[in-house]
A and B are shown apart, each in its own frame.
Chain A
Amino acid sequence: MFLKSLKRTVGAALVATLGLGTAAFAEYPEKPITLVIPLGAGGSHDLNARVITSIIPQYLDQAMIVRLSPGAGGQKGTQEVANAAPDGYTLLFSHNYIDMLQQHVENLPYDPNTDFVPVARVNYAPIAVVVRGDSEYNSFEDLINAAKANPGSVDMAHSGNWGALFVPAAQIMKATEATFNLVPFQGGGPAMQALLSGDADVTMGFPSTLSSLVDSGKVKVLATAGDERIYEDVPSFAELGIGGDVGFMHRVVLAPAGTPDDVLAKLSEAFTALQEDKTYNRMMGRLGENTDYIDGGKYQMMRQEQNGAYKDLVATITQ
C-alpha cells in the first residue's frame, strides 16, 4: 500500500520534471523577470518602474522585480544586463542618453549597438526651457540673443554632464550657436532651486513637474520640445527651428542581444497589452507621465538615428 503510493509519487514527480523541462522552451516566462534600472532609488525611472511592475504580471503570468543598480553614470547596471544570459529573464530599463549617447563620451565596457535589442519604448518626457518669473528674458529669442552677445554669461543649471537636462541644452547650443555657461547640480530638483534662488539664469524641466511653478508665476516657460505645443502660448522647438528628436527623454526597456524571438514577442505582447490597461493609464497619469508606446522594432530605427545625431553633438560641443 505504502510502497504503491510511493511508486506513484516518484512516477508523478518524474513526469512533472520532464514536463517542466519541455515547457521551458514552450512557455516563457516560467520564473520572475528582473528589471534592472541603472539609476538610483526615488528617481522618475524608479517610480515609472514601480507602476509597470505592479501591473504587467497580469499579462506575463509572472512577477517582474525591480533591481536598482546605480553607478558610473548608468554604466554599472547597463553592463550587468549586457553580460546577463539572453533568456528574457534580465531586462534593462534605461533612457536614450545612457543608451546611445554615452558611447561617444566614454569608453564603455559594452557596445550598446550590438549588445542590446529594444523591447519597448514605454513613454517619453519632453523637456521645457525655463527661466524665473521675473527674468529679463521673455522669449526664447531673448535668451539666445543674450547668450550669443556675451558667450558664457548666461548660467544654465543642469542635472549632470550628458544627462537629461545637459543634452537638450547642448542640442540647443548646437542648433542656435549660442553658448551657455553650464553649471552642474545633483539632480533636476536642485537645478530648479538654483534657478529660483538666482544662482542660475535658465534651466530645463519636465512639464509634469512644472505645473505649480508655472501657474504661480514663479517660472516662465520659453520653449518646449517636439513639433506640437504643450502650453498654448509657448512655441515648440520645431517652430523655433530646432527639429528632430531633440529634448526627449525616452524611457526604454532593452533586452540583451541574442534573446530568442519568441521571448521578445511575448514581452512585446505584454507591453502592448499594458498600454491598454486602465489602471496602468490612470497610475501613469497620476505621476504626470504619458503612455505613448513605441514597439521595439520601430524604436530600433530611432536608436540608430540617435546614435548618429549624438555623435555629431558630442563632436560639436567638446571641440
Chain B
Amino acid sequence: MIEQFADGALMAFRLDTLVMIVIGLFSGMLVGALPGFTTLMAMAILLPLSFFLDPLVGIPFLLGVYKGGIFGGSIPAILVSMPGTGAAVATSIDGYKLTQKGESRKALDIALFSSVIGDTFSDIFTILLIFPIALLVMQFGPPELFAVLLMSLVIIVSTSGTNPLKGLVMMLFGLWLAQIGTDPIGGVERFTFGIFELKSGIPLLPMLIGVFALPELVYAVMRSQRAQEFAKLVGDRLSKAEFKRCIPTIRRSTILGTAIGIVPGLGQVVAAMMGYSAAKNASSHPETFGEGEIEGVAAAEAANNAVNGPTLVPLLTLGIPGDNVTAILLGAFVAQGLRPGPQLFEEQGTIVFAILVAMVMANLMFIIIGYLSIPFFARIVTIKTGLLVPIVIMFAFAGAYVFRSDTTDILMLVGFGLFGLLARAARFDVMPMVMGFILGGPLEYAFGQTVAMAGSTPFEFLFTERLGMVAVLIATPIVGYLLWRRMKSATA
C-alpha cells in the first residue's frame, strides 16, 4: 500500500494534470461566484469532457471545478451578503460585516486560507484513515441522523444572537416553511392551498438571496446618501498575526467538519454552523462575533470545507455516491474504467492514490490562484453605490430565476426580501429561520424513516438497537442549556 501510494504520488506530478487543475479551479471559482449557478451544474456539464481525457487529467479537472466552486460561493457572501448556497450562510455573517468595515480583502484572505487548510487536512486525514472511516460511516443510520440534526438545531438557537427566545421563534417559523409542499414520505400536500407552484416546496435560493442580500441593498442605498461608496476601502491583506490568532479556530473547525462529514447526510451547512457556533462559544470575546470577526469567517469556512474529505469515503470504498456531487464523480470514475468499490484499492490502488494526491495538490495550487485573484474580486465593492447596487440587484433576480427557470421564484425573492427588512426592523435574526428551513426537511425525513424502521415495536427498537440515538437525544437539552448559560454570562 505504501508503495502504491509512492507510485501514485509520482504519477500525479504531470504538467497536463496541473494545467487542467488550474483551469478547473478557475472556472469553478467563477461559476461558484455567480448566484444561481451551482458547482453541481458546472460539473454535470463538464463531465462528458472528462470522458475523453486521461483519468489523471479528467478527474483532477472535475475536482478542481468542485473545490474552486465552493470557495467561489463565499465571494458574493462576503462582498454583498449574497450567499448562493446554505454552506455560505455562516460565512456571510462576519464576512459581510468585514466588507462594511472596509476590510473585504482581509475577509476573502481568511476565507481562502481557512477553507484550503480545512480541506487539505481533512483530505489527508481521509487518505490515512479511509478504512476506519468507512466502518464508522456504517454506524450512522436515519435514527442517529435525526438525533444529531435535532441537536444541531438546539445548538444554533442557543448560540444565536442575543435573544434565544427570538431565535427559537424564527427557527420554528423556518421549520414550518420547510413543511410547505408535498410531504416527502407520505406524498400528502401541506399548506399549499391548492397552488401548484408551492407543491415542490419553497426553493432555498430565493430565500437566501431575499433575506440576506435584498435588505442589505436597501440599507446600502439609504446609507449612500451620506457616503458615496458601498464600502470605501478594500483594506489590507491578512497579517501574519491575524492569521496566527485564527489557527486554534481553524484547527477546531477542521476537526469538527471532518467529524460531521463522516455522518452521512449532514453535510456542509451543518458543519459551517457548528464550526461557527463552537468558535463563538469558545471565544473569550463572543460579542465580536457577528460584528466583523475574522475568526467567524475562519470557523465557518474551515468547517464546511473539511466535510469534503470524508464524503468521498463511501464512494471510494463502496462505490456508493452519498450526494449528487459524488454521483458525478462516480460517473467520471466508471467512465475511465475505474470501478469505485471494495476492490478499488486492490485493483487500481496506484491510480486512486494518484487522484487523491492530485486532490491535495489542487488545494495547494488554489492558495496561489485565490491569493492572486482576491484583489480583483475585493475591488468590486469600491464601485460607486449608484452602479453597484443595480448590478447586484440584477444578479440577485437573475440568480433566483435561473436556478429553476421559474418566474414564481422571483415573487418568492421579493417576498423574502420584504420579510428580511421587517425582521431586521423588529430585531429578529433571520439566521435561525434559514437554518430551520434548510435542516427541517432532512430532520423530518429522518424521523419518518425512523418510524418506518421501528415498525410496531418502537421502544424495543430504540433501546436495543439504537442506543446511540437515545444518548444523543438525552444529551441535547443539557448541551443546549449549558451553551445558553455560557453565552448569557459572556455577553451580559
| Residue pair B264, A193 in contact (C-beta under 8 Å) | yes
Nearest opposing residue in chain A for B346, CB measure: A216
- A304 CA / B272 CA spacing, docked (Å): 50
Is B405 positioned at the interface, with any CB of A under 8 Å from its CB? Answer: yes
Interface string of B304-342 (1 = CB under 8 A from A): 000000000010001111111111101100111101111
In the complex, what residues of B have CB within 8 A of residue A186's CB?
A: 265, 445
| Residue pair B138, A215 in contact (C-beta under 8 Å) | no
| Residue pair B322, A193 in contact (C-beta under 8 Å) | yes
| Complex interface: stretch among A6-14, A36-44, A114-122, A248-256 | A36-44
In the complex, what residues of A have CB within 8 A of residue B404's CB?
A: 69-71, 76
**Closest CB in chain B relative to A76 CB, distance in Å:** 5
In the complex, what residues of A have CB within 8 A of residue B383's CB?
A: none
| Residue pair A40, B405 in contact (C-beta under 8 Å) | no
| Complex interface: stretch among A24-32, A47-55, A221-229, A259-267 | A47-55
Q: Which of A196-254 contact B (CB under 8 A)?
A: 196-199, 209, 211-213, 215-216, 218
- A54 CA / B48 CA spacing, docked (Å): 8
Query: A193-B264, A216-B343, A283-B48 in contact; A183/B320 too (CB < 8 A)?
Result: no
| Residue pair B331, A287 in contact (C-beta under 8 Å) | yes
In the complex, what residues of B have CB within 8 A of residue A76's CB?
A: 199-200, 404, 406
| Complex interface: stretch among B152-160, B181-189, B413-421 | B181-189
In the complex, what residues of A have CB within 8 A of residue B187's CB?
A: 73, 105-106, 161-162
- A183 CA / B142 CA spacing, docked (Å): 10
In the complex, what residues of A have CB within 8 A of residue B325's CB?
A: 42
Could you tell me how many residues of chain B have their Cβ less than 8 Å away from some Cβ of chain A? 61
- A69 CA / B138 CA spacing, docked (Å): 33
Is B449 positioned at the interface, with any CB of A under 8 Å from its CB? Answer: yes
| Residue pair B40, A42 in contact (C-beta under 8 Å) | yes
**Closest CB in chain A relative to B267 CB, distance in Å:** 12
Q: Point out the residue from B137, B200, B314, B340 that lies within 8 Å of A72, measured CB to CB.
A: B200
Is A79 positioned at the interface, with any CB of B under 8 Å from its CB? Answer: yes
**Closest CB in chain A relative to B43 CB, distance in Å:** 8
| Residue pair B341, A73 in contact (C-beta under 8 Å) | no
- A288 CA / B341 CA spacing, docked (Å): 15
- A209 CA / B318 CA spacing, docked (Å): 11
Is A131 positioned at the interface, with any CB of B under 8 Å from its CB? Answer: no
Is B393 positioned at the interface, with any CB of A under 8 Å from its CB? Answer: no
| Residue pair A42, B327 in contact (C-beta under 8 Å) | yes
Q: Point out the residue from A47, A68, A72, A185 that lies within 8 Å of B449, measured CB to CB.
A: A185
| Residue pair B405, A69 in contact (C-beta under 8 Å) | yes
In the complex, what residues of B have CB within 8 A of residue A106's CB?
A: 187
- A94 CA / B404 CA spacing, docked (Å): 17
A: contact size bracket: 35 or more
- A153 CA / B461 CA spacing, docked (Å): 13
| Residue pair A190, B331 in contact (C-beta under 8 Å) | no
In the complex, what residues of B have CB within 8 A of residue A197's CB?
A: 137-141
In the complex, what residues of A have CB within 8 A of residue B19's CB?
A: none
Nearest opposing residue in chain A for B342, CB measure: A216
| Residue pair A213, B318 in contact (C-beta under 8 Å) | yes
Q: Which of B111-148 contact A (CB under 8 A)?
A: 137-142
Is A297 positioned at the interface, with any CB of B under 8 Å from its CB? Answer: no
Query: A54-B48, A106-B187 in contact; A287/B334 too (CB < 8 A)?
Result: yes
> Chain B CB within 10 Å — which of A183, A185, A211 has the most?
A183
Q: Point out the residue from A51, A71, A218 that lies within 8 Å of B318, measured CB to CB.
A: A218
In the complex, what residues of B have CB within 8 A of residue A209's CB?
A: 319, 330
In the complex, what residues of B have CB within 8 A of residue A161's CB?
A: 185-187
- A309 CA / B140 CA spacing, docked (Å): 38
Query: A192-B320, A283-B51 in contact; A42/B328 too (CB < 8 A)?
Result: yes
| Residue pair B44, A47 in contact (C-beta under 8 Å) | yes
Interface string of A61-73 (1 = CB under 8 A from B): 0000001111111
- A211 CA / B330 CA spacing, docked (Å): 13
Is B453 positioned at the interface, with any CB of A under 8 Å from its CB? Answer: yes
| Residue pair B320, A189 in contact (C-beta under 8 Å) | yes
**Closest CB in chain A relative to B163 CB, distance in Å:** 34
| Residue pair B335, A50 in contact (C-beta under 8 Å) | no
In the complex, what residues of B have CB within 8 A of residue A155's CB?
A: 453
**Closest CB in chain B relative to A247 CB, distance in Å:** 21
In the complex, what residues of A have CB within 8 A of residue B324's CB?
A: 40-43
In the complex, what residues of B have CB within 8 A of residue A213's CB?
A: 318-319, 341-342
- A47 CA / B342 CA spacing, docked (Å): 24
Is A295 positioned at the interface, with any CB of B under 8 Å from its CB? Answer: no
In the complex, what residues of B have CB within 8 A of residue A68's CB?
A: 41
- A51 CA / B49 CA spacing, docked (Å): 10
10 nearest A-B pairs in the assembled complex, by CB-CB distance = A212-B341, A71-B200, A42-B324, A216-B342, A286-B335, A72-B200, A197-B138, A199-B141, A72-B199, A42-B327
Q: Can you give 19 A-B contacts (C-beta < 8 A)?
A: A41-B38, A42-B43, A42-B328, A47-B331, A71-B200, A72-B182, A76-B406, A181-B452, A181-B455, A189-B322, A194-B142, A196-B138, A196-B318, A197-B137, A197-B139, A212-B341, A212-B342, A213-B341, A215-B343
Known: A47-B44, A196-B138. 19 other contacts (CB 8 A): A42-B328, A46-B44, A51-B48, A75-B200, A76-B200, A181-B455, A185-B449, A189-B322, A189-B326, A190-B322, A193-B314, A196-B320, A199-B141, A199-B453, A213-B318, A213-B342, A215-B343, A283-B48, A287-B334
Interface, chain B (partner A; CB < 8 A): 38, 40-41, 43-45, 47-48, 51, 137-142, 181-182, 184-187, 196, 199-201, 264-265, 314, 318-328, 330-331, 334-337, 339-344, 404-406, 445, 448-449, 452-453, 455-456
